[in-house]
Amino acid sequence: MTIRYDDKVAIVTGAGGGLGRCHALELAKRGAKVVVNDLGGSVSGEGANSSASLAVVAEIEAMGGEAMAHGANVADLSQVEDMVAQTMARWGRIDILVNNAGILRDKSFSKGTVDDFRLVADVHLMGTVHCTKACWDIMKAQEYGRIVVTSSSSGLYGNFGQSNYGAAKMAVVGMMNTLAQEGAKYNVKINALAPTAGTRMTEGLIDDKAFALLTPETVTPAVLFLVSDEAPTRAILAAGAGAFAVAKIVETEGMWLPEAEQTPEGIAANWSQISEGGERALQAGFEQSIKMIGQAAAGLGLDMSQ
């Protein structure tokens, strides 16, 4: 079955180039009406220029699709709200939101400034919050929504010189985990993309041969799947060079310690059992509480059913 988005309206942020442009073009090829959002700034977040987003709109229109450009800075809620209002005025619905906009201010934690950290967090985290918030109630009311947040291996696993970027990229996963629960009964699904792509944000950081493999076109199929009718929810889908994998946050089974051993020394003595074995992905925060209460009850010989 071919996945299509006929009669669907999609907003793609940071869509003037790189991954965002590829996402927007492929959504349009499969029938979506697309809002091409791009501030048109530099990789480090400076300046603004509408030419890139207008060029993508022209590409979509040349293939017979429908699109509009909007230059909202995602870090500014009022600009995002204007983008959503214009989208609703033109097409009357918003079905798909791809949070892709981002900047880099790569420096070691010692050399980076707090202002750099705040700016990166404002774009990646708060930009995602602003766009998702502006679309959320619309999607709930129409009982249909597909949202992608863009995470990164830098957030999931760490990357030297990217503490600001990594922090923001992990934060959007935490947001996704909760919104997947809140959106479930309204058919609003939200997932995370962890892409590896050769774009202007990674140029110079990756070997030329590897860079040639990491095209945006090899990542976009992951987005197309995550915003489809039959998409999962709360998945972290890694993609790059045509390879795909799911990242999972897991927790060990752990163990209960008797009161006398509930000390740092007790933890140290039992560290191997606490830190290894029984890893599983929990589906909600309360599952951790239930597990630990159960272990404590078993250790104390308590019957929690009464």
The residue behind tokens 């214009």 is 86
Low-confidence ranges of the chain (pLDDT < 70): 41-49, 198-206
Full-model pTM: 0.93
Contact of 189 with 232, CB cutoff 8 Å? yes
Instruction: List active site positions.
Output: 165
Q: Would you state the pLDDT for residue 205?
A: 63
Question: What is the DSSP code (8-state) at residue 251?
Answer: B
- Shortest CA distance to 133 belongs to which of 101, 164, 97, 168? 97
Taking each continuous run of H as one helix and of E as one strand, the counts in the chain are: 12, 8
67-70 and 188-195 as β-strands: parallel, antiparallel, unpaired? unpaired
Domains in the chain: ranges and CATH: 9-247 (3.40.50.720), 259-300 (no CATH)
- Can you tell me the distance from the alpha carbon of 240 to that of 196, in angstroms, rounded to the nearest whole number? 5
Q: How far is CA 292 from CA 110, 244, 252, 296, in A?
A: 38, 34, 11, 6
Q: Would you state the pLDDT for residue 88?
A: 98
240's enclosing H/E stretch is: strand 236-240
DSSP letters of 142-167? HT-EEEEEE--HHHHT--TT-HHHHH
Contact of 219 with 196, CB cutoff 8 Å? yes
- Shortest CA distance to 148 belongs to which of 19, 236, 216? 236
Q: Would you state the pLDDT for residue 257?
A: 98
- Can you tell me the distance from the alpha carbon of 40 to that of 36, in angstroms, rounded to the nearest whole number? 11
